[in-house]
A and B are shown apart, each in its own frame.
Chain A
């Protein structure tokens, strides 16, 4: 099974800052990686698929990059609504493992 190691587990940042979240797969997943945002009490929402493609309606301050086993999610110019939890997900093969999550908090 492919393991997804996400870091950091938590992150404290200020409005307007830029932050990066990393996800390391235990083997090559050929860019079949997705990123999700989840706010408290809400369902996860797809942000990025295929490592770098923005899902419909997602603001352009979100971007994804990476290849092989290493991927990252970058959020530019943090807005109040961006403080949430973020998860990466292996889409290449079952089990479609999620990373453990990153909680982004307001400093």
Chain B
């Protein structure tokens, strides 16, 4: 059974670095990509970036300079790190298994950036 679960802090201060973890089960990270998608409250879905089965990454150019996605295949975990947080980074962050579409999603983690 494919499952993904995001974890991380709910409240961040501006300029801090966000660290989120996506723990997966039911599939291998060496055979599947995992992407991160953000959703501001009441708004649409924004693809942030992806780490592919081979370990390569793609990032949304809007956040590329601040974003890093990595993984630990032995622990079945994917990590998102984003620095220089601003209030506009507030939203729900989802990880999802990605072929070129997202077929299984985590439940999401709400992140609020506020002083």
Contacts and interface: CB of A to CB of B under 8 A. Distances in A.
Interface string B32-75: 00010100000011110010000000101100000000000000
B91 interface: no
Interface hub of A32, A43, A94 (most chain B Cβ within 10 A): A43
SS class, residues of chain A in contact with chain B: loop
Contact of B45 (A32, A44, A92, A94): A44
A98 B47 contact: yes
A10 to B, nearest CB: 13
A96 B100 contact: yes
Contact of B100 (A44, A91, A95, A97): A91
B105 interface: yes
Contacts of B61: 1, 95
Given A34-B101, A95-B60, 10 more contacts: A36-B45, A46-B104, A89-B45, A89-B47, A89-B102, A91-B99, A96-B35, A96-B50, A98-B45, A101-B45
